Amino acid sequence: MERIRVRGGQRLEGSIHISGAKNAALPLMAASLLTPGTLTLSNVPKLADIATLASLLGQHGVAIDLRQNGNVVDGGQTLVLHAPSIASTTAPYDLVRKMRASVLVLGPLLARCHQAKVSLPGGCAIGTRPVDLHLKALEQLGARIELEEGYVNAEAPGGLKGGRVRFPTVSVGATENVMMAATLADGESILENPAREPEIEDLARCLIAMGAQIEGAGSERIVVQGVPELSGADHRVMADRIEAGTYMAAAAITGGALTLTGTNADTMGAVIDAFESCGVSVARCNGTLDISRRSDAISPTDITTQPYPGFPTDMQAQFMALLTTASGASTINETIFENRFMHVPELMRMGADIALQGSTAVIRGVQQLRGAPVMATDLRASVSLVLAGLAAEGETTVSRVYHLDRGYEHLVEKLSACGADIERIAN
C-alpha cells in the first residue's frame, strides 16, 4: 500500500483550486435513477467514492459517459448519466459495503420502480452509522420495508404516496433519500427537521431542474409536490466546503498564506468564524478565499460539532490538528458521531497533548510537533495527520492513504504546488 511522506516546516504560499463537493456529487449521481432522461453533472471530483458509486449505478442500468475536464488546473470531470430503464433494483453487499453513501440508491429505486433490495451498509470506522432514519422516513411515504439477511427489502405497490416525515434527529443521508423519493410520490410530502446542509440545497436545485417541485431545501421544513416523471438536466456540482476548510487549516498550521479559488464562502460560515476566532484572517472575494495567519500564534478556542449551519463534524479532525499547535488549551466536543477521535492517538504520537473525556477532547497546544510514522483510519482523520505533518519538525509518513483518496482530489499535487515537501511513496 502507498504512503504519504511529509517533511514539515514549509510555509505554504500560493493558490489552490477547490474541487466539486464529494458529498454533493454522490446524491446527485443517485438522482440519475429517478429519470429516463440524461443527467449531466459537471465539476465532479475525481475520487474513489465517485468511482465506487458509478460502478453500483452501472449494475442498476445507468450508462455513465465520463468526460475529462480539459483544464487540468480545475481538475474535475463531467459525468453524463443515462438510465432509460432500470436493469436491476438490487444493490449488492459487495458494492454497498465499500461506501455507505450507496444507500442513497434506495429512495430513487423505490420511487421509480416501486421496489428495491439494498444491502445494509454496515458501520465504518467512525461509528455504527445505522439507516433507521432512512427507513422510517420512506415508510411515511407508504413503503413497506423488511430487513432480511442483511438486506433492506422495500416495496411500494402502486407507487409511493406523499406523507409527513418528522426526523427525530438530523440526518443528511436520510433527508437526501426521502427528498429524492418524494419527487415521484403521489401527492405532497412534508419533511420536518431535515438536514440543512448546502449539499441538500444543491441536490434540490438539480432535482428542480429535472422538473421536481421542491420548496424549503436548506430550511427546517421542506415541501415536495410529487410529479409523474422527471426529465434530465445539466447541473454543476457545488464547491467542496470541507476541502476548502482543510486547505484553510493547511495555511494556518504552516503560518502561510493561501488563496483558494472556486469556493463559496456562503456555505462556510461556522468554519470561517472558527478560523477567525483562532487568529486566522479570512478575506472573501467572490469565489475566492484568502487565508493567512494574523500573528505568530494560533489562539486556542472551543468547538462543538453540530448539523449545518453549525461547525461541521467533517472539519473536526482537521481543526484539532491546528489546535495542537495553539498557544493554550482548547476543547472540541464531537456530537455527531460516536467514534470520531481515532486521529487523537496518532496526533499524540507526533507530540500532541490531547486528553479525551467522552465526546470531548481537551487539546493543550505544544511548541512543536514531531514527525512520526502514523496510520490513517478514516478520511478526515487521515488528512488531519497530513496537516500535522506539514507543521511537524522532521518527517511524517501516513499509511493507508486509500482513505485519503476517497475524498481529496490531487491532495499531494495541490499542497506541493504551494511549497509543501510532500510526496506519495510506495511501501
Min dist. Cβ of residue 338 to ligand EPZ (A): 7
By CB under 6 A, residue 343 contacts ligand EPZ: no
- Contact of 133 with 171, CB cutoff 8 Å: yes
How distant, in Å, are the alpha carbons of 343, 357, 368, 397 from that of 373? 13, 26, 16, 5
By CB under 6 A, residue 379 contacts ligand EPZ: yes
Question: Among residues 131, 152, 182, 204, which is the contact residue for ligand EPZ, using CB under 6 A?
Answer: 131
Residue 205: what are its φ and ψ, rounded to 5°? -60, -40
Number of residues that bind ligand EPZ (CB under 6 A): 24
Query: Which member of 124, 206, 278, 418 is catalytic?
Result: 124
Residue 64: strand pairing partners: 81
Residue 15: strand pairing partners: 259
Catalytic-residue membership of 285: no
Q: Which stretch binds ligand EPZ (CB under 6 A): 6-14, 71-79, 164-172, 280-288?
A: 164-172
By CB under 6 A, residue 238 contacts ligand EPZ: no
Q: Give, as ranges, the residues between 260 and 319 that touch ligand EPZ (CB under 6 A).
A: 313-314
> Comparing C-alpha atoms, which of 419, 418, 389, 417 is closest to residue 401?
389
Nearer to ligand EPZ (CB atom), residue 130 or residue 287: 130
Residue in this structure with the C-alpha cell 422538473, named with its chain if needed: 211
Residue 191: strand pairing partners: 165, 222
Min dist. Cβ of residue 346 to ligand EPZ (A): 17
The Cα–Cα gap between 357 and 335 comes to 13
Bond preceding residue 194 cis, omega within 30 of 0: no
Min dist. Cβ of residue 228 to ligand EPZ (A): 28
By CB under 6 A, residue 123 contacts ligand EPZ: no
Min dist. Cβ of residue 172 to ligand EPZ (A): 4
The Cα–Cα gap between 100 and 312 comes to 19
By CB under 6 A, residue 326 contacts ligand EPZ: no
> Comparing C-alpha atoms, which of 8, 4, 20, 17 is closest to residue 258?
17
By CB under 6 A, residue 163 contacts ligand EPZ: no
Q: What amino acid positions are annotated as catalytic residues?
A: 124
Residues that bind ligand EPZ (CB under 6 A): 23, 26, 100-101, 127, 129-134, 169, 171-174, 195, 313-314, 336-337, 379-380, 407
